[in-house]
Amino acid sequence: MSQTGSVRPWYRRMTARRPDEPHRSATPLELFFDLCFVVAVAQAAAGLHHDVAEGRVGHAVGGYLMVFFAIWWAWMNVTWFASAYDTDDDVYRITTLVEIAGALILAAGVPRAFEVGDFTTITYGYVVMRLAAVTHWIRAAAGDPGHRAAAVRYAVGVAVVQLGWILRLHLPDGWRVGSFVVLVLAELLVPAVAERPGMTPWHPRHIVERYGLFTLIVLGEVVLATSVAVQTGVDAGQRSLWSLAAAGAVIVFALWWLYFDRPVEVSTRLRRALFWGYGHYLIFASVAAVGAGLAVRVDHERHQAHLSGVGSAYAIAVPVAVYLLTLWALHVRRQQRGPARAAYPIVAALALLTPLGPVPAHLLAGLLFVLVAVTVVARRRSTSSTAGHVRR
Instruction: Indicate if the pLDDT at residue 151 is higher than 80.
Output: yes
pLDDT of residue 392: 52
Q: How far apart are CA 343 and CA 361, in angstroms?
A: 19
pLDDT in tens, 83-134: 999 888 889 999 999 999 999 999 899 888 888 888 899 999 999 999 999 9
Instruction: Indicate if the pLDDT at residue 6 is higher than 50.
Output: no
The whole-chain average pLDDT of the chain stands at 87
Give CB contacts under 8 A, 24+ apart, made by 300-307. 300/53, 301/233, 301/238, 301/240, 301/241, 301/244, 302/232, 302/233, 302/236, 302/238, 302/241, 304/53, 305/53, 305/54, 305/55, 306/53, 306/54, 306/55, 307/52, 307/53, 307/54, 307/55, 307/57
Instruction: Indicate if the pLDDT at residue 5 is higher than 80.
Output: no
Instruction: Name which residue leads in pLDDT, 238 or 317.
Output: 317
pLDDT in tens, 153-209: 999 999 999 999 999 999 888 888 899 999 999 999 999 999 987 788 999 999 999
Q: What are phi and psi of 55, to 5 degrees?
A: 90, 5
Instruction: Indicate if the pLDDT at residue 215 is higher than 90.
Output: yes
The closest alpha carbon to 354, from 326, 322, 323, 312, belongs to 312
Give the confidence band of 312 by pLDDT, cuts at 50, 70, 90.
very high
Instruction: Name which residue leads in pLDDT, 368 or 339.
Output: 368
Segment 278-306 mean pLDDT: 91
Q: How far apart are CA 95 and CA 210, in angstroms?
A: 19
Instruction: Indicate if the pLDDT at residue 1 is higher than 70.
Output: no
